[in-house]
Amino acid sequence: MTDERFFNAEEAYSRSELEALQQERLRATVKHCMNSPFYRERFRSAGLSQDDIRSLDDLHKIPFTTKQDLRDTYPFGIASVPLGDCTRLHSSSGTTGNPTVILHTARDLDQWANAVARCLWMVGCRPDDVFQNTSGYGMFTGGLGFQYGAEKLGMLTVPAAAGNTLRQLKFFKDFRTTVVHAIPSYAARLYEVMCQQGIDPRRDLSLRTLVIGAEPHSEDTRRRIEDMLGVKAYNSFGMSEMMGPGVAFECPGQNGMHIWEDYFIVEIVDPVTLEPVPDGEVGELVLTTINREAMPLLRYRTRDLTRILPGECPCGRVHRRLDRMKGRSDDMIILKGVNIFPIQIEQVLMQFSELATDYLITLQTLDDNDGMTVEVEISEKVLTDDYSALQKLEKEITRCLRDEILITPKVRLVPFGSIPKSEGKAVRVKDLRKQY
């Protein structure tokens, strides 16, 4: 590529070039899926033949594939190649139930590494950077997915893996790490331990870029993490079923994540009617993989809620942008008949500069009444034992939360660092309600 901005030619495609490629890849994918007994049967029972899918307009004829389909065919049931052609297996983190298995051929792994490298290149990573990955390695795709992508780009890659925060900090210093991948809750934890150790990231470390993703977080949380660590933080979206990280990623504009449309066909549907929603409206993200061999998925219902950001991106890529994830449809809390997403609570909390980024929502039943308690850590910068000031703050937070979620939670301010941290994705909601 002669243009330094792009890692792959496909990034610089025009809309019509991109759609022509999508159409060609969709047809090839559908044809290839007929090697899978699962999809053969799906097409047969829908009265559909591979020849019915000629253009992108025909996509809607294909039935959806769901997480339940993956569970029902566990472990290898959807594969479109013989197992002998596969070289790796991953599974999802199992955040919302039984894990699901995803198979890869050598080509799939290479294409995946390419997508991750493309994302990292987009935000300015270059071969002279030192990339430290704090993801768990193993079945979780954030480990090997970023490892191979960063290597493909040519960075010196430090597979630090999850946990052992003191060791992470030592590596930052000793190896002069410039780029870090961490989930948002762990980025906050890194800062907490830096404070305890008297490390000032701006003075003592070389960190410049942070890749954060894998769990929903608000814009304010991002800004705070950037401010704490003295880095630019870019939102990274992926999921095991689509390959892992590298599905969608923010560009330097930090305004929505470009989803790589040479790899995926994007639809946003109403989760109830399953009809497409107009561009710009929130719905469930549905993805069709058009660049996978071992286990392509057609119209996969991700259960993630988001929208397509209208308009063009100044960076010059026509691959459309997804807004921050609002959450998964199964994250939604229904309390006293009101639907609430944890991210709504986070958005309110992060308006208060007195608060740190960690919080925990507990739902419980008291005297046959369901209620919500929100515990939130006070920022390490607020050193007050002025009880009435804290009480006033709790009241103000309660009022703002009630305005947002229409329910009055009990708010409890707790000391910095006191909410238990999990090794993987943060647990933000504990549901202890009595089940009737």
Residue numbers 70-99 binding ligand ADP by CB under 6 A: 92-96
DSSP string for residues in 384-411: ---HHHHHHHHHHHHHHHHHHHSS-PEE
Residue numbers 314-343 binding Zn ion by CB under 5 A: 315
Nearer to ligand ADP, 139 or 193 (CB): 139
| Binding of residue 313 to Zn ion (CB under 5 A) | yes
| Secondary structure of 271-306 as H, E, C letters | CCCCCECCCCCCEEEEEEECCCCCCCCCCEEEEEEE
| Binding of residue 233 to ligand ADP (CB under 6 A) | no
CA 107 vs CA 45, 243, 244, 292, 294: distances in Å: 31, 12, 15, 8, 9
Nearer to Zn ion, 97 or 253 (CB): 253
Nearest partner of 70 among 39, 99, 100, judged by Cα: 100
Stretch that binds ligand ADP, among 128-136, 208-216, 313-321, 362-370 (CB under 6 A): 208-216
Nearer to ligand ADP, 27 or 292 (CB): 292
Stretch that binds Zn ion, among 89-97, 174-182, 248-256, 331-339 (CB under 5 A): 248-256
Nearer to Zn ion, 299 or 319 (CB): 319
* Pairing relationship of beta strands 209-213 and 244-250 according to DSSP bridges: unpaired
393 is written with which tokens? Answer: 């703050």
In the chain the first and final C-alpha atoms are separated, in Å, by: 62
Binding partner of residue 237 among ligand ADP, Zn ion, none, CB cut-off 5 to 8 Å per kind? ligand ADP
| Binding of residue 149 to ligand ADP (CB under 6 A) | no
DSSP string for residues in 297-364: -SSEEEEEEE-EEPS--TTS--S-EEPPP-EEGGG-EEETTEEE-HHHHHHHHTT-TTEEEEEEEEEE
Distance CA 278, CA 282 (A): 9
Nearer to ligand ADP, 55 or 339 (CB): 339
Shortest gap between Cβ of 364 and ligand ADP (angstroms)?
25
Residue numbers 358-417 binding ligand ADP by CB under 6 A: none
| Binding of residue 179 to Zn ion (CB under 5 A) | no
Shortest gap between Cβ of 216 and ligand ADP (angstroms)?
4
Q: Calculate ∠ Cα 34-305-425, nearest 5°.
A: 95
Q: Which of 143, 145, 149, 213 binds ligand ADP (CB under 6 A)?
A: 213
- The 8-class DSSP code of residue 379 comes to P
Shortest gap between Cβ of 94 and ligand ADP (angstroms)?
5
Distance CA 245, CA 317 (A): 19
Distance CA 306, CA 238 (A): 13
Binding partner of residue 362 among Zn ion, ligand ADP, none, CB cut-off 5 to 8 Å per kind? none
Distance CA 28, CA 159 (A): 36
Answer whether the bond into residue 75 is a cis peptide, omega within 30°.
yes
Binding partner of residue 8 among Zn ion, ligand ADP, none, CB cut-off 5 to 8 Å per kind? none
Binding partner of residue 315 among ligand ADP, Zn ion, none, CB cut-off 5 to 8 Å per kind? Zn ion
| Binding of residue 143 to ligand ADP (CB under 6 A) | no
| Binding of residue 251 to Zn ion (CB under 5 A) | yes
Q: Which of 80, 178, 185, 236 binds ligand ADP (CB under 6 A)?
A: 236
Shortest gap between Cβ of 249 and Zn ion (angstroms)?
10
| Binding of residue 250 to ligand ADP (CB under 6 A) | no
| Binding of residue 328 to ligand ADP (CB under 6 A) | yes
Q: Which of 78, 286, 325, 340 binds ligand ADP (CB under 6 A)?
A: 325
Radius of gyration of the chain, Cα coordinates, nearest whole angstrom: 22
Stretch that binds Zn ion, among 64-72, 103-111, 309-317, 405-413 (CB under 5 A): 309-317
User: Residue 267 forms beta bridges with which residues?
Assistant: 286
**Residue 432 buriedness (CB in 10 A; 0-12 / 13-18 / 19+):** exposed
| Binding of residue 347 to ligand ADP (CB under 6 A) | no
Q: How far does CA 296 lie from the centroid of its chain? A: 20
CA 338 vs CA 48, 272, 341, 355, 409: distances in Å: 40, 17, 10, 26, 13
Q: Which of 284, 304, 346, 377 binds ligand ADP (CB under 6 A)?
A: 304
**Residue 66 buriedness (CB in 10 A; 0-12 / 13-18 / 19+):** middle
| Binding of residue 243 to ligand ADP (CB under 6 A) | no
| Interacting residues with Zn ion (CB under 5 A) | 251, 253, 313, 315
Q: Applying CB under 6 A, which residues contact ligand ADP?
A: 92-96, 141, 213-216, 235-240, 302, 304, 325, 328
